Amino acid sequence: MARSNLDEIRVDISVSPRVNSFKPPKIRIISDQAKALMEAGVPVISLSAGEPDFDTPAAISEAGMNAIRDGFTRYTPHAGILELRQAICRKLEGSSQENGIAYTPDQVVVSNGAKQSIVQAIHAVCSSGDEVIIPSPYWAAYLEMARMAEASPVIVPTSTANNFLLDPKLLESKLTERSRLLILCSPSNPTGSVYPKKLLEEIAQIVAKHPRLLVLSDEIYEHIIYAPATHTSFASLPGMWNRTLTVNGFSKAFAMTGWRVGYIAGPKHFVAACGKIQGLMTSGANSISQKAALAALGLGHAGGEVVSIMVKAFKERRDFMVKSFREMEGVKISEPQGAFFVFIDVSWYYGRQAEEFGVIEDSESFCRFLLDKAQVALVPGSAFGDDNCVRISYSSSLTTLQEAVKRIKESLVPLTTRPLVSSH
Ligand code: PMP
């Protein structure tokens, strides 16, 4: 088609410096390459998924379909339909006593996914220059969300040896009068670690000493937890209710990633501010998904039988992965207690020369090597702030995991006899 003279008018294609400052998600580096290989017909096994491999339970989908049939397809209140917020309050305290935290519906805002809840919470409470304390390894979005709100992320490292749990003393040493928000994620993405109640109590004592400090407790993997580990909601600890923003959602435990429903609960002044932002951005969450979420909460304590079947499958896979990687030379692993990830330290392999590949330098080249040799896609730990490790999602069938482990083993074994060619 011929271009008109109007097309020649020069357009300023610059975008805001704020957007330019956002770092592209490293989590995609390997998965994009893996996708391209798959499209070219290479039988790649991708263990990079951040979502369950199960279908949304039928009762939940049915409620969504009924919502459409019933014409429940209009705008809802910005904070979410009252019956869902009431059900969330019952879940958070109520008869089922899941979390032991009392909220009223006006202290809850339902969003289009927990991600939206978190970004709104950070914007609602942080001013420019405030510090957001993020234990590493972290879910990378926290960092960019903090930057988006013109806050400064302050990273507090943890280690494999310590099951990736925060050292309260180290946390205390990082706090200043500018510290505004501590983000805790338990069970954790990417490590699968679960904070024991005693450790949370120690953290709460430190938080209590800092009047400006709030806690965002990301509990989205709450139900995907393996006994004897148990989940403690930070807001349920003495003195912490008025300091805590509790975030949860339906994506993980109920296999509802595409439905986009999450929520925040907390003191009304903070939650109302979150609602104000949401009112400007997206209004209420998807009406159909809210009905589906209501059905999910209707499944009973911790998602009832339906969720426990999924969790049982995840546990079987977790046990298989831990056993397999414990047997592998040069791998350090701390047994995850929740979520569906293992986060293993593979730095022993760094500095080793691989045939027809070159030297494995870091977590990214380790993943590139495995994609090349084993045709297995993992996520480099550098995407989560820990370059010694890689994240393996076991959100795939046991048979797929068995094949992936076999391929990884076959690729790594020849490296174990290779001398180090560079030091790390
Ligand atoms: N928190 C964590 C730790 C996550 O891993 C995710 C999803 N990857 C979310 C929050 C957001 O979940 P959603 O927006 O799907 O509810």
Of 118, 143, 189, 341, which is best to mutate to test ligand 1, by the most ligand atoms within 8 angstroms of its C-beta?
A: 189
The predicted model scores a pTM of 0.95
Question: If you measure from the C-alpha of residue 272 to the centroid of ligand 1, how many angstroms do you get, rounded to a whole number?
Answer: 21
pLDDT at position 4: 64
The pLDDT tens digits for 362-415 are 999 999 999 999 999 999 999 999 999 999 999 999 999 999 999 999 999 998
Report d(CA 419, CA 154) in Å as an integer. Answer: 37
Distance of CA 221 from the midpoint of ligand 1 (Å): 9
Task: Please determine, for residue 95, whether its predicted confidence score (pLDDT) is greater than 90.
Answer: no
**Nearest atom of ligand 1 to the alpha carbon of 188:** 3
Taking the CA of residue 249 as reference, the ligand 1 atom at the shortest distance is 16
* Percent of the chain whose predicted confidence (pLDDT) is above 70: 97
- In the prediction, which pLDDT does 96 show? 47
Residue 189 CB–ligand 1 contact under 6 Å: yes
**With helix as H, strand as E and coil as C, how does the chain read?**
CCCCHHHHCCCCCCCCHHHHHCCCCCCHHHHHHHHHHHHCCCCCEECCCCCCCCCCCHHHHHHHHHHHHCCCCCCCCCCCCHHHHHHHHHHHCCCCCCCCCCCCHHHEEEECCHHHHHHHHHHHHCCCCCEEEEEECCCCHHHHHHHHCCCEEEEEECCHHHCCCCCHHHHHHHCCCCEEEEEEECCCCCCCCCCCHHHHHHHHHHHHCCCCCEEEEECCCCCCECCCCCCCCHHHCCCCHHHEEEEEECCCCCCCHHHCCEEEECCHHHHHHHHHHHHHHCCCCCHHHHHHHHHHHCCCHHHHHHHHHHHHHHHHHHHHHHHHHHCCCCCECCCCCECCEEEEECHHHCCEEECCCEECCCHHHHHHHHHHHCCEECEEHHHHCCCCEEEEECCCCHHHHHHHHHHHHHHHHHHHHCCECCCC
Question: Ligand 1: which residue has its CA nearest to atom 6?
Answer: 115
Mean pLDDT, rounded, for 326-350 = 96
Q: Is 139 in the pocket of ligand 1 (CB under 6 A)?
A: yes
**Mutation probe of ligand 1 site: the residue of 88, 115, 384 with most atoms within 8 A of C-beta:** 115
Query: For the chain, which domains are there?
Result: 25-50+305-417 (3.90.1150.10), 58-299 (3.40.640.10)
Residue 292 pLDDT: 98
| 88 Cβ closer than 6 Å to some ligand 1 atom | no
Find out whether the beta carbon of 52 lies less than 6 Å from any atom of ligand 1.
no
pLDDT of residue 197: 96
Is any atom of ligand 1 closer than 6 Å to the C-beta of 185? yes
pLDDT-based confidence at 99, cuts 50/70/90? Answer: confident
Ligand 1 centroid, distance to 120 Cα (angstroms): 14
Mutate to test the pocket of ligand 1, among 251, 257, 379, 384 (most ligand atoms within 8 A of CB): 251
Q: What confidence tens digit (pLDDT) does each residue in 138-187 have?
A: 999 999 999 999 999 999 999 999 999 999 999 999 999 999 999 999 99
24-46 pLDDT tens trace: 778 888 888 999 999 999 999 99
Stretch 1-7: mean pLDDT, rounded? 62
CB of 141 sitting under 6 A from ligand 1:
no
What is the tens place of the pLDDT at every residue in 37-72? 999 999 999 999 889 999 999 999 999 999 999 999
Q: Is 183 in the pocket of ligand 1 (CB under 6 A)?
A: no
pLDDT, the chain, mean: 94
For residue 209, pLDDT over 70 is answered with yes
Residue 184 in contact with ligand 1 by CB distance below 6 A: no
Residues 272-299: tens digit of each pLDDT: 999 999 999 999 999 999 999 999 999 9
